[in-house]
Each structure stands twice: as structure tokens, then as C-alpha cells.
Chain A
Amino acid sequence: MTPKGVSLNPNSRKTKFARRFIFALSRMRNPIPVSSSIEEEVRTRSHKIKIAAYLSMARAVGSRRAWSRALLFKLRTRARRHNMIIRRRSFRLKKKRIIKNDPQGEPSQTKKLRQLVPGGKTMDMCSLLEETAHYMTCLATQVKVMQTIADHFAK
């Protein structure tokens, strides 16, 4: 298997993400047969894979970025809540939260953007745009790596 002349940068975001994500995937092999149906199993594992993907990317970026910090915080609090089984109450509280934003001349699409980017609700406009740009490139990398892995498995 000769490399095509493209050197693998061990410190690139892509490599860091790929390594963490693949490691998380390898830990997901559950040899113990679960009692629920196969579709249920596939669905729960797909959810775990999705969380692992976002978590791996946020960890690869580290705490340098506001969005990765916000995402790590969200995933960790969600995991903690999941373990303590008070999910129902916290979901209800979550829905009632109102986004109090300073609507000083902000275009209407900004509100949607704030909901899409992790941590976007409390950022000022400048930071929001910067974080969005970084978040978009990281997401695109994440999708590309996942696509590569899926294509490889499919062979």
C-alpha cells in the first residue's frame, strides 16, 4: 500500500479526530447479544456513534475555541444527566428556556445561526461569525472522515 505522495500530518485536526473517532468506534463492538431488536440496537449505536463523532472533533480542537468548549460542556452535562436518570425534568426545563438576545440591528438569520453553532446563544456578533467559520470547516472534515470510513467498511 504505497502512499500517494501525500504525507500524513500527525498533528493535523483531521488526524487527531480520525484517531479518536476510530478508537471510539472500536470500543463499540458489543459481543453480548442485547435483548432488544436489531433495529433498536442499530439505532442506539447510531446515536452513540454520532455523539462520539462530535465528541472526538471537539476534543481534537480542544478548548481553544468557544464552540468546542460549549459542545464539550453540553455533551458532558448530558452524559451526567443520563447517568443520574433525571432526564425528564431537565428536558422540560430546557424547552422553557428563552433566548434573551440583544436584538440591536441583528438580521433574523442570526438567531437561527446561534441555535446551530454550539455556544452561539451568548456570543457577540463578531465572535459568532468567527466561531461559525471554524465550526463549519471542522464539521466538513468530520463528515469527510466519516464518509471515508463508511466507504471503506462497505467494500
Chain B
Amino acid sequence: MSSRRPRQSGTSSRITDDQIIDLVSKLRQLVPEIRNRRSDKVPASKVLQETCNYIRNLHREVDDLSERLSQLLATIDAESAEASIIRSLITQ
């Protein structure tokens, strides 16, 4: 999957603009910030910006949750915890 140098300026032989527009609109639907606004008025750069912010937020949440889990793990008993976690996930 090497990236070929495009012959014309801005257009590649394999990637069309329509494909990119479709994918950007798909991303729009996934990012919660943008989903609530009217989708046709959000430019692609804003979508990419919000996507980056959203992914960064998720990374930060993973860090915080790891920290929290680490502190909690120190204080509980493993055996009963496993079974009860799985039970709680099933009944979610």
C-alpha cells in the first residue's frame, strides 16, 4: 500500500474526492461533539480538529481510569472480584 505520487495536482490516481468526503461525513457521525450540530455546515478541517480532540480526551480518560483501577486493585480481593465483575458486565 505505497503512496504513489499524484500526477495531477491534488488528485491521486486511487483516491477520489468523493471517497474522502464520504469518510469525513462518517467521522462526523462518530464524534459526539459534532453529531448534534447540523452536519452540512461543519467543514472538514473542523471535523478533523474535533476528531483529534476526541481521541486525545479518550487517551486521557484511559490514563485516569488506569490510575484509578491501580489504586482500587490494591484494596480488593481478586477471587470474588473477578466473578462479580463478569456478573455485572452481563447484567449491564
Chain A residues near B (Cβ < 8 Å): 1-4, 6, 8, 15, 18, 22, 25-26, 28-29, 38, 41-43, 45-47, 49-50, 53-54, 102, 104-105, 107-110, 112-113, 116-117, 123-127, 129-130, 132-133, 135-137, 139-140, 142-143, 145-150, 152-154
Shortest beta-carbon distance from A119 to chain B in Å:
11
Q: Which one, A28, A109, A130, A149, contacts B52 given CB within 8 A?
A: A109
Query: Chain A residue with minimal CB distance to B88?
Result: A152
The complex places the Cα of A140 from the Cα of B51 at a distance, in Å, of 13
Chain B residues near A (Cβ < 8 Å): 1, 3, 5-6, 9-10, 12, 14-15, 19-20, 23-24, 26-27, 30-31, 44-45, 48-49, 51-52, 54-56, 58-59, 61-63, 65-74, 76, 78, 81-82, 84-92
- Given contacts A46-B63, A49-B70, list 5 more A-B pairs with CB under 8 A: A22-B86, A42-B70, A50-B66, A104-B10, A136-B31
Are A109 and B45 in touch, CB under 8 angstroms?
A: yes
Are A26 and B78 in touch, CB under 8 angstroms?
A: yes
Are B85 and A152 in touch, CB under 8 angstroms?
A: yes
Q: Which residues of B contact A46 (CB under 8 A)?
A: 63, 66-67, 69-71
Are B55 and A116 in touch, CB under 8 angstroms?
A: yes
Q: With A129-B23, A136-B54 in contact, is A152–B6 under 8 Å at CB?
A: no
